Amino acid sequence: MWLRVVLEDFVSSALPSQRNRQLGFWVWLVMKATLTTAILLVLLVIAVGWAIYAWVQLGDVHMSWHGYAAMILGIVFSLLVGCGLIGLMFYSSRHGYDEPFDPNQSKPNGKNGKPQRSRKPQRSN
């Protein structure tokens, strides 16, 4: 926070006001991206360090074929579910299911994308 104040003071003293606001925004954006990247890298280092520690502590553990089969099935099904959900997300996005509801808009008929006209019921004489 203090770095942002210092940088904004430096920018405000060096540049005209309109350009100052634009540059201040870019300085804030770069600082935000840098801080986010640094936090994510720290979390990655912690996760990798914990994984290495757990791997070393396990030592020489024997796993039967049941364990390997369960691990392979778990990985395959997790990937299938993840890919299926991402596929559904792309499908719904491309076919308009993510659009907000508009009761005034008519439905497309599905063949050529043109709206359907409402038909009045015909009277039989």
C-alpha to C-alpha distance for 23 and 27, rounded to whole angstroms: 6
Residue 55, amino acid = W
Could you give the angle at which helices 2-14 and 17-58 cross, rounded to 10 degrees? 150
pTM for the model: 0.42
Check if the beta carbon of residue 108 is closer than 8 Å to that of residue 96: no
Ordered mean pLDDT values, 10 residues apiece, the chain (125 residues): 65 57 77 94 97 88 91 97 95 82 65 54 60
* Residue 12 burial (10 A CB sphere; 0-12, 13-18, 19+): middle
pLDDT of residue 48: 96
